[in-house]
Amino acid sequence: MLRIIDARTGDPVDAAPARRGLTRVEAHAPASDTGALRVLLVADLLVRTLELGGTPVWALLTGERKQAELRACAADLGVRPFEDSRDVSAGLGEAQVIHVAGEGTAVPEGVRVVVAPVEGAPAAGTDPGALRLALISQDRRVPLRLDADVLEDARTTLARWRRLVADWARRPSRPVPDPMRVRLRTAWEDDLDVPEVLRLLRSVETSDLPDGARFETYAYADRLLGLELTRDIGTPL
């Protein structure tokens, strides 16, 4: 079960309700800059993790300016659609409410997930997958400097992983090793520790696991990461 650190208290809380019911995840993004994109990406990872654990989720976006622009950029990065909170008149009886917001953003009562700011912006034509990887590679509580080196590292890593996954897919399939499955789930259910998930994938990349098992491991982790790691299967290598 996902446990998240509540920024109000510093204590871990269950992100899924103890009783049957849904969790409302509300992203607060009053602008349309890269910092707002990081907020939406953290909310997207939170939604994915809850759904992987079997918890129904209601995802909302609260913002004031240039929401259409922000939604378009988020869609390019593979962020799932969030409902507009202004179109919602009442709750659905949710048992848990989690607010995801940038530093200094005022939010209503509920569990609070704070996302540190981003310095810099991607150049025009930056690969959306590389930008997503760059924005999720660092702990959400740490300010992120988004410069050319960071984006280039993300681009080359993503291209390599997609190429390897396409190659591994040609081999006989093997299940995700149980110890690795447990380590991946433990990482993303421990306060959304995405950097640890990425470290585990790097260890699998250079491991002696059968190629089929490496393929299934990457495909399994990508259910959380949303990096389209299987995109190049069937294309010329």
Q: How many helices (H) and strands (E) does the chain have?
A: 7, 9
Q: Are 61 and 27 in contact (CB under 8 A)?
A: yes
Contact 137, 155 (CB under 8 A): no
In this structure, of 62-71, 131-140, 219-228, the range with the lowest mean pLDDT score is 62-71
Q: What is the pLDDT at residue 145?
A: 95
Count of the separate structural domains present in the chain = 2
Find the domain containing 8 and state its range: 3-115
Same domain, 81 and 179: no
Q: Is residue 142 part of a domain?
A: yes
Q: With 60 as the cut, is the pLDDT of residue 138 above it?
A: yes
Tell me the residue type at 41. L
**56 and 81 together in one domain:** yes
Residues 63 and 131 in one domain: no
pLDDT at 237: 65
Residue 67 amino acid letter: Q
Q: What is the mean pLDDT of the chain?
A: 92
Residue 56 exposure: Cα atoms within 13 Å on the Cβ side: 8
**Is there a domain that residue 163 lies in?**
yes
Q: Give the mean pLDDT of 220-225.
A: 97
Q: Quick one: 94 and 134 in the same domain?
A: no
Asked whether residue 71 is domain-assigned, the answer is yes
How confident is the model at residue 31, as a pLDDT? Answer: 84
CB 61 within 8 Å of CB 84: yes
Q: Tell whether 120 is covered by a domain.
A: no
Residues 31-46 as b/e (b if ≥16 CB within 10 A, e otherwise) read bbbbbbbbbbbbbbbb
Last residue in a domain, options 95, 115, 135: 115
pLDDT in tens, 10-48: 999 998 876 667 899 999 998 889 999 999 999 999 999
